[in-house]
Chain A
Amino acid sequence: MKVLFSFLAVILLILVATMGAFITNLHYVFGIIIPYLAFAMFVGGFIYRVVKWGRSPVPFRIPTTIGQQKSLPWIKQNKIENPTSAFGVIVRMAMEVLFFRSLFRNTKTELREGQNGPELSYGSAKWLWLGSLFFHWSFLIIIIRHLRFFLEPIPFAVQILESVDGMLQIGLPAIYLTDVFILVAVTYLFLRRIIVPQVKYISLPADFFPLFMIMSIAISGVLMRYFYKVDLVAVKQLAIGLATFQPVLPTGIGPMFFIHIFLVSILFAYFPMSKLMHMGGIFMSPTRNMISNNRMVRHINPWNHEVEVHTYEQYEDEYREKMKKAGIPVEKE
């Protein structure tokens, strides 16, 4: 049901896109206005979400660590998994962002039939990590490769990426490794959600929708490259027109392009309101981005309310004479 709902939503979007692609009068809306709106919603929404997160209290120091804490001099500290310096935190965050360090520690839990009845057992589970890593890296590389439509002249680095990605030189136009990887990985991520019962139980339409969106964007891209070809020179003129704020709409681009860009626009517009915001959120995770010096430094909640204190010295100053008269010992005469 949850799967079907997301699936139908994406099908509906594809139908809308197809309508836009085949009605020439709508090309200006689908090729220029919607992409601009989507871009503004993406950047604006992203900043809004991050600022909102930034304003929420972080009263405690809550790094979670998986290595030996800094302790006695003869006990070796794990400087990255339990960092006590800003540099350690940066390395730790980089491992998290670039290689999904935490996901690498993913485990599976099973009840097995043991000698004395069922036994709880744990095992390593790396497939999710591997699938995610392939998925995210492919996505990133595809986006960077797409800069060839948006930059003129095309930077050297983009061309290098392009030739490395197409190095197998299979077929014409050459197959990109990342295209294969992203399709396989996104299919795996989807199957995992409908096959593993526990994961299926906790999956929501908001989990399936982005998967279907990304799947259909990748499929429309691949279709456009190999089967329903578009005029790439015209696409680039449109893209550069958008980037220079002098939009042009070349004729004869080909309908598949409008489907692709509409789906991309919807994904980008939806991004800030969705779980995809983990892209920004990962940097804001207090359990990962805080220095683990809980016991070395006194941490004062930055949100603490100003409290008026009356110290003993002040108290004594105020009542010294009375205290002396009553025979109570005082610290200062």
Chain B
Amino acid sequence: MYKGGKIFASLIIFAALFTIPFFYNMGKVNAGPDVALNTAAIQQLPASEQQCVESPEFMRANHMQLLNQWREEAVRNGQTVYVNSQGKEFEISLQDTCLKCHATESASKPAVLNNPVSTTAGVSNPALNESPEFCASCHDYSAVKPLCWSCHFEPKEATK
């Protein structure tokens, strides 16, 4: 083969590029994110209150659009009550409604809010989520950076 050496070297580079995922994940455990859906804060609620503002399936697929809608309602339309698909009412508030259950994995650690400017953690990673554990567990896993914390104060526990 003419220039066989170069061709083989290039083919090795080609194969290496396309098999990166095999080597990168070698020996790792395929553990998905640990989503805290049953925190103490949630357990303390009466059984009828334990469902999120909508069904889990709906929330999993559409929470970003719901949050966006809530922002429009609260900030632009001054509307602070959300009526869900079952006719139940919720206060439109990230801090008082969402984070009441989802701020942290333990009820003993209330969601203390804190100015992000004063945090000391070196945040160099754009997708490193300043979000509560609950959000971060999936958002880190799939590299999606929520924009909530560019306006809202980030919860304290995210600085650890």
Contacts and interface: CB of A to CB of B under 8 A. Distances in A.
A233 interface: yes
Nearest to A42: B18
B11 A150 contact: no
Interface stretch (B43-51, B75-83, B138-146): B138-146
Nearest to B126: A163
A50 interface: yes
A146 to B, nearest CB: 10
Interface stretch (B60-68, B90-98, B106-114, B115-123): B60-68
Contact of B7 (A51, A159, A243): A51
Interface stretch (A3-11, A234-242, A309-317): A234-242
A281 interface: no
Contacts of A149: 142
B144 A173 contact: yes
Contacts of B68: 172
Given A159-B125, A237-B30, A154 B65 contact: no
A24 interface: no
Contact of B64 (A160, A173, A231): A173
A155 to B, nearest CB: 8
A37 interface: no
A197 to B, nearest CB: 38
B21 A248 contact: no
B141 A159 contact: no
A234 B142 CA distance: 10
B134 to A, nearest CB: 13
Interface residues on B, range: 35 or more
Contacts, number: 104
B56 to A, nearest CB: 11
A159 B143 contact: yes
B143 A156 contact: no
B147 interface: yes
Given A151-B24, A237-B30, A240-B30, A46 B14 contact: yes
The winner among B2, B11, B68, B138 for most chain A CB atoms within 10 A is B2
B7 A244 contact: no
Interface stretch (A52-60, A66-74, A130-138): A52-60
Give the 8 A-B CB pairs with smallest separation, nearest first.
A150-B21, A243-B21, A229-B61, A159-B127, A54-B7, A148-B143, A154-B143, A172-B64
26 contacts: A43-B15, A47-B14, A50-B10, A51-B7, A54-B2, A54-B7, A148-B143, A149-B142, A150-B24, A151-B24, A152-B28, A162-B143, A163-B127, A163-B145, A169-B147, A172-B65, A172-B68, A173-B144, A232-B144, A233-B32, A233-B138, A233-B142, A240-B25, A243-B21, A243-B24, A244-B26
Interface of A: 39, 42-43, 46-47, 50-51, 54-55, 57-58, 147-154, 156, 158-160, 162-163, 169, 172-173, 229, 231-234, 236-237, 239-246, 248, 280, 283-284, 302-303
